[in-house]
Amino acid sequence: MSASDTTAEPTHGVERIAAFTDEELHDLCEAADAAIIDGGGFGWVTPPGRHALERYFKGVLLVPERELFVARVGGRIVGSAQLVRPPRNNEAQAFAAQLMHSFIAPYARGHGLARLLTRRVEEGARALGYHVLNLDVRETQEAAIALYESMGYIRWGVHPTYARVGGRTIRGVFYYKPLQPGGRIA
């Protein structure tokens, strides 16, 4: 086979996963630690320790309402996001899903992965028939806010006492994005 017949494996990308190897779990925990230390740790302010992160990510895969999407660079996991479906007993909001716990490790930024990760979660939600995707973020996560606003997310509110970080109260910013043509919720 000549070089022109081979297909190069992409150096980075995003996929939905339902299981991971020990090495992938290690990479995911390492990326989460780095994101938490950098201030974008999806709720954690300080790294909770490897055992807690491993239990957390293993647990995510067990929750039927959650789908885990991972970002890779050079085949290694460097970030993730979750698509969270509403519980079955919430018929009134059954049309809307939530994007949660999205992060890219600081050492893997600059490849467009945050945008691609968000896009893949949107596609996943759309494929499952959801009409709206909701998310929230700390006001200190300015890069995430700029990303979501550039992708068409609509800011609908601010929570004045959303989080406590380093002894400070941080506001939270709430967004939604219609996923169907024309923004319909049918």
Comparison of pLDDT for 181 and 124, the residue scoring more: 124
Residue 106's DSSP bridge partners are none
Reduced to 3 states, what is the DSSP secondary structure of residue 108?
helix
pLDDT in tens, 112-170: 999 999 999 999 999 999 999 999 999 999 999 999 999 999 999 999 999 999 899 99
Phi, psi of 37 (to 5 degrees): -60, -35
Check whether 8 has a pLDDT greater than 60.
Answer: no
Question: In whole numbers, what is the pLDDT of the chain averaged over residues?
Answer: 91
CB 161 within 8 Å of CB 169:
yes
Structure tokens, 77 = 């996991």
Please state the pTM of the whole predicted model: 0.90
Tally of helices (H runs) and strands (E runs) in the chain: 4, 7
In degrees to the nearest 10, what's the CA dihedral of 51, 52, 55, 56?
A: -150
CATH class given for the domain over 9-183: alpha beta
Q: In whole angstroms, how far apart are CA 11 and each of 20, 79, 167? A: 19, 14, 40
Residues in the chain: 186
pLDDT in tens, 20-35: 999 999 999 999 999 9
